[in-house]
A and B are shown apart, each in its own frame.
Chain A
Amino acid sequence: MAVYPVARTEEIPEGTFKIVQIEGRSIGVYNVKGEYYAINNYCPHQGAELCKGPVCGTTLESQVYEFIYGRDREILRCPWHGWEFDIKTGKSLFSDKVRARSYPVIEEDGQIGIVIGQPKQREGTEGC
């Protein structure tokens, strides 16, 4: 396990993100409502650069013919096929088994660090 310093907090204001390179991996560091999250810049479906996709909200679980918009700015949508991922966990919104890799983030003294190599990380599943 190692913590990689990647940015100062002021470099990634709320609602923005930064792409960083760590040991050959491209990782997007997102500031969602004041909290930082790190997600692999690689879609588990066909390998698009996930972080080129829009950050958005989505429709929440609802009754038939009811549309409830929510989770605004918490969802990352793949730029190719529109798959939705929860920025906080990397999980896709359609299956627990499909996820983009996410990394723990540590914020200390205005410094953002990404933790690589924790055993609890899970790989993204193969799309096709």
Chain B
Amino acid sequence: MLKDKQETMPVIDCDVHNQFRGGGDLLPYLDEPWRSQAARFGVPSAGAPYASPVGNKRKDADPPSGLPVGSDPAFMLEHYVNPFNVEYALLCSDSIIGISGFADPDYAAAICRAYNDYVIAEWFPVSSKFKGYMCVAMQDPAQAVREIERIAPHPDIVAVCVIGGSRMPYGDRYFHPIYEACQRHQLPLLIHPGAEGGGIFNPPTAVGYVSNYLQWHTCLPQTYMAHLVSLVCEGVFEKYPEFKVVLCEGGVTWLPPLLWRLDKNFKALRSSAPWLKRMPSEYVRDHCFMTTQPIEEPNNLKHLDMMFEMFDAENMLLFSSDYPHWDFDDPTQILRRLPEEKKRKIFSENARKLFRL
């Protein structure tokens, strides 16, 4: 089903997943002693503790080359990027996204270094449309900072990616050096879900482990709510006034009621966070972004329009497709009701500005 390019608005897709052809892809970029270890025993990971009944991938995106889904850059361009008028596909590693859940901080940091060198060497040169996110391991902020210093200057790196799963809320002072480094290099922090509850992470919901992928995936916004409240109230955006955060693939419509609650509480409990100079929701509006996919689909689509009116959606949302994953959003099919100008901001202009593209 080819899309008519003429009718398609230009898109900057903020969540496109590049995959390894196999764990061996990383080996040439991995330092010793990890390389020999990974060569013999495989690249470790700490994935989600659930299995989806429909699998993780779209069933119609296998490259004809026989390579795994998402691992063939030429096919990604041919199958998705070019026909859908994608100006930039911002690559977000799928293969190592959960590495912050692996208990060994040094091995995890080595894998991130290898991935960053790999994506720079093997994906970005294929097309000027490919740019993307570097990965850091959150177990050891000092090593994460060194990695940001090393990689951030590369022109195709536009953000620092971490996973939603964590051992503590992201506003915690433990992580602040990472945010300072992000600010120094004008790179937003992008939080992407994928392994909540896996490895050394806390359980994926506030009440523990749900039974299956259906419940896990539905509850992902819980994690984002906790990270967001923490980032604001711990004063991260006062300490680092140029620091920006992207909440990727965590849902959108939960935001307004959470901010109402936070602002209301702040009026009474402000003394707990005397460093905040404005209402909490104002920090969120100025520092935070959300990606659209998987966009909520209420039976009455007017209800989604109404939710968009309850926060600064036109300036805070960034289009994402999640290609080639199972819950892919087609840029020609979603948010069709939005007025042209708002849509243009969400589909490309906001990302262009944020990522300085």
Measured CB to CB, the residues of A under 8 A from B are 46-49, 52-54, 77, 79-82, 127-128
B328-350 CB mask vs A (1 if < 8 Å, else 0) is 11101110100000000000000
Given A46-B334, A47-B1, A80-B58; A128-B53 close (CB under 8 Å) = no
Residues facing A in B310-331 (CB within 8 A) are 326-330
Given A79-B59, A128-B297; A46-B54 close (CB under 8 Å) = no
Whether B67 is near chain A, meaning CB under 8 Å from some CB there, is no
In the complex, what distance in Å separates the CA atom of A52 from the CA atom of B60?
Answer: 6
User: Which of B59, B328, B333 sits near A54, CB closer than 8 Å?
Assistant: B59
Residues facing A in B55-114 (CB within 8 A) are 58-60
Measured CB to CB, the residues of B under 8 A from A are 1, 53-54, 58-60, 295, 297, 301, 326-330, 332-334, 336
Chain A residue at smallest Cβ distance from B330: A46
Q: Which one of B1, B54, B327, B336 has the highest number of Cβ atoms from chain A below 10 Å of its Cβ?
A: B54
Contact A79 B297 (CB under 8 A): no
Chain A residue at smallest Cβ distance from B3: A47
Q: For residue B327, which residues in chain A have a CB less than 8 angstroms away from its CB?
A: 80-81
Q: How far is the CB of B70 from chain A (nearest CB, A)?
A: 14
| Subset of 15 A-B contacts with CB under 8 Å | A46-B329, A47-B1, A47-B332, A48-B60, A49-B1, A49-B60, A79-B60, A80-B58, A80-B59, A80-B60, A80-B327, A80-B330, A81-B326, A81-B327, A82-B53
Given A46-B333, A128-B334; A82-B295 close (CB under 8 Å) = no
In the complex, what distance in Å separates the CA atom of A50 from the CA atom of B60?
Answer: 10
**Secondary structure type dominating chain A contacts:** loop
Q: For residue A46, which residues in chain B have a CB less than 8 angstroms away from its CB?
A: 329-330, 333-334
In the complex, what distance in Å separates the CA atom of A82 from the CA atom of B326?
Answer: 7
Contact A80 B328 (CB under 8 A): yes
Q: For residue B332, which residues in chain A have a CB less than 8 angstroms away from its CB?
A: 47
Contact A77 B54 (CB under 8 A): yes
Contact A128 B326 (CB under 8 A): no
Chain A residue at smallest Cβ distance from B301: A128
Chain B residue at smallest Cβ distance from A59: B53
Chain B residue at smallest Cβ distance from A49: B1
Chain A residue at smallest Cβ distance from B304: A128
Q: How far is the CB of A30 from chain B (nearest CB, A)?
A: 16
User: Which of A47, A53, A127, A128 sits near B59, CB closer than 8 Å?
Assistant: A53
Q: Which one of A48, A53, A77 has the highest number of Cβ atoms from chain B below 10 Å of its Cβ?
A: A48
Q: How far is the CB of B198 from chain A (nearest CB, A)?
A: 22
Apart from A80-B60, A127-B333, A128-B334, 13 more pairs, CB < 8 Å: A46-B330, A48-B1, A49-B1, A49-B60, A54-B59, A77-B59, A79-B59, A79-B60, A80-B327, A81-B54, A81-B326, A81-B327, A82-B53
Chain B residue at smallest Cβ distance from A54: B59
In the complex, what distance in Å separates the CA atom of A38 from the CA atom of B328?
Answer: 26
In the complex, what distance in Å separates the CA atom of A80 from the CA atom of B327?
Answer: 6
Q: Which one of B59, B295, B329 has the highest number of Cβ atoms from chain A below 10 Å of its Cβ?
A: B59
In the complex, what distance in Å separates the CA atom of A53 from the CA atom of B61?
Answer: 11
